[in-house]
């Protein structure tokens, strides 16, 4: 009879030792996985849309810088 009690307690101990790290990892990931700066999805969506619009403006500006000038514009700059 005492051996069955020992076996039962051993199984409980093993299960406890196996489940505890899983629970700790889950809690840690939940704690660090939360976003601190953004409150909800609508704010996050608005933030991302604003960032995309800013990037589009920067791309357009850079494309304007890279477009070659016409011969007349280059010649006028050279004369002055």
Per-residue pLDDT, averaged over 42-70, amounts to 85
Taking Cα atoms as reference points, which of 12, 13, 15 lies closest to residue 23? 15
74 and 45, same domain (yes or no): yes
26 and 51, same domain (yes or no): no
49 and 80, same domain (yes or no): yes
Q: Yes or no: say if 47 and 38 are a contact pair by the CB < 8 Å rule.
A: yes
72 and 41, same domain (yes or no): yes
25 and 50, same domain (yes or no): no
Angle at 7 between CA 4 and CA 8, to 5 degrees: 85
28 and 55, same domain (yes or no): no
Residue 48 has pLDDT above 80, yes or no: yes
pLDDT in tens, 15-42: 999 999 999 999 998 888 766 655 567 7
Report how many domains make up the chain.
2
**What's the domain range around 74?**
36-80
Determine the Cα–Cα distance for residues 80 and 72; give it in Å rounded to an integer.
12
Tokens of residue 3, six digits: 């051996």
Determine the Cα–Cα distance for residues 25 and 31; give it in Å rounded to an integer.
10
């Amino acid at each position: 009879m005492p051996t069955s009690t020992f076996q039962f307690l051993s199984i409980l101990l093993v299960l406890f030792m196996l489940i505890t790290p899983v629970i700790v990892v889950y809690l840690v990931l939940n704690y660090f996985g939360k976003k601190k700066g953004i409150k909800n999805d609508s704010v996050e969506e608005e933030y991302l849309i604003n960032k995309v619009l800013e990037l589009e403006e920067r791309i357009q500006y850079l494309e304007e810088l890279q477009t070659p000038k016409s011969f007349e514009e280059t010649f006028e700059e050279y004369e002055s």
